[in-house]
Amino acid sequence: MLSPPERVTVLELLASQAAISLENALLYADLQRENSERKLAEEELRLREARIRRLVESNIIGVFFWNVAGIATDANDAFLRIVGYSRQDLLSGHVQWATMTPPEYRAADARAIDDLRQRGSSPPYEKEYIRKDGSRIPVLVGGALIEGSEENGVAFVLDLTEQKEAEAELAARRTAAKQAEEQLQALQVELAHATRVTTLGELSASIAHEVGQPLGAIVTSGEACLRWLGRGEPQPEEVRACVQHMIGEGRRASEIVRRIRTLTRKAAPRKTQLELNDVINDVVALVQREVLNHRVSLRLELDSGLPPLLGDRVQLQQVLINLVINGIQAMADIGGDSRELRVESHRDSDGHVVVAVQDSGPGIDPESANRLFDAFFTTKAEGMGMGLSICRSIIEAHGGQVWASNNAGHGAIFQFSLPSISEAS
């Protein structure tokens, strides 16, 4: 049996033993954790090194090691292939990367070095190297300082030759496509002009009549004027009325001449803000006589609240002339009393401006329905088959659509829709 003081000593001893072994256990655990952490870090480093080595050795991209003196200290085969130097050339220290750089890229290099100093790496940038044979090669370069060093770094280099060639080819193709498009546009202008002139030729009898009428009226009024002046008693009011009539008729004639002149102009398309109803009225004035000669009754139903649109006035006039003349021609073989042409404008639910030209002819033959707008498609003995194809290219160049259908009753209806100015801008 231990005496109480002895018991205390033993307990103290046991307690200190326990404390020591506890401490040891904790220390051991710490050590183990440190060990495994170090192992993990080492493993990660090893993996990273292996990955980098694989990247360097795979020679997919050029890699070179450099020092701040501007000397490439080592490089992989891919880099040597890019710049055309041998490893000996490089290791001799004579080849400095600055000397491989054309003067215009020195500033970009200096910026990259600044980035390296400040952030330890530089974002990739495009430059060129001067190869050993003096030729140039486009590359993408990025670099980083080696960890823990301010003197040494690594850089990767990607050969951009193929990419640049592809870019150059693409640019050349784009230029060629643009030139072809310009040529096509010029041809379309020529063609549109030629067909306009042809149509006007067809209309020449009507136009001559249209201009002839006011001229005849001017002559008649002039003669009346002379008669009034020749009377003993001057009649200034009568003379004034005659002269005013002459001025009015003169204006009418010159207006017709102006319209014809615009149509015969061969100008590149020019879009301005315009009201489609004005274009319709212009065309109606030009074809008025044609309509009368063919005993067609023309009905206009124009929506006065149409929004303005952006378009080429002459081209849109041409579209309307084609549609109206086609309508008149389609009704040539039907009875005189039932030749009706209706030109209508309205705004559709999408806010587009729509024009419809409706006739009471035989309608569209279902067999030719899907070829109407093809170039050179015609069912007329003297037809060119260009009218509707030109209409379509003009309307599409204005961002619109043109289509044809048959009326529920009889005849055909040709319609086109165009975006209003607020949609186009």
Closest CB to ligand ADP among 122 and 199? Answer: 199
Q: In whole angstroms, how close is the CB of 160 to ligand ADP at the nearest point?
A: 51
Closest distance between ligand ADP and the C-beta of residue 296, in Å? Answer: 12
Q: Between residues 270 and 380, which has the closer beta carbon with respect to ligand ADP?
A: 380
* Closer CB to ligand ADP, 281 or 407, in the complex: 407
Q: How far is the CB of 197 from ligand ADP (least distance, A)?
A: 14
- In angstroms, what is the minimal distance from the CB of 323 to ligand ADP? 7
Task: Return the number of the residue (71 or 356) whose C-beta is nearest ligand ADP.
Answer: 356
Q: How far is the CB of 123 from ligand ADP (least distance, A)?
A: 59
3-state secondary structure the chain: CCCHHHHHHHHHHHHHHHHHHHHHHHHHHHHHHHHHHHHHHHHHHHHHHHHHHHHHHHCCCEEEEEECCCEEEEECHHHHHHHCCCHHHHHCCCCECCCCCCHHHHHHHHHHHHHHHHHCEEEEEEEEEECCCCCEEEEEEEEEECCCCCCEEEEEEEECHHHHHHHHHHHHHHHHHHHHHHHHHHHHHHHHHHHHHHHHHHCHHHHHHHHHHHHHHHHHHHHHHHHHHHCCCCCHHHHHHHHHHHHHHHHHHHHHHHHHHHHHCCCCCCCEEECHHHHHHHHHHHHHHHHHHCCCEEEEEECCCCCCEEECHHHHHHHHHHHHHHHHHHCCCCCHHHCEEEEEEEECCCCCEEEEEEECCCCCCCCCHHHCCCCCCCCCCCCCCCHHHHHHHHHHHCCCEEEEEECCCCCEEEEEEECCHHHHC
Residues of this chain that bind ligand ADP (CB under 6 A): 322, 326-327, 330, 359, 361, 364, 368, 372, 377-380, 383-389, 412
Supply the minimum distance, in Å, between the C-beta of residue 378 and ligand ADP.
3
CB closer to ligand ADP out of 330 and 402: 330
Q: Cβ of residue 337: shortest distance to ligand ADP, in angstroms?
A: 19
Closest residue by beta carbon to ligand ADP: 387
Nearer to ligand ADP, 311 or 327 (CB): 327
* Residue type at position 408: A
Q: Supply the minimum distance, in Å, between the C-beta of residue 211 and ligand ADP.
A: 25
Nearer to ligand ADP, 145 or 330 (CB): 330
Nearer to ligand ADP, 137 or 364 (CB): 364
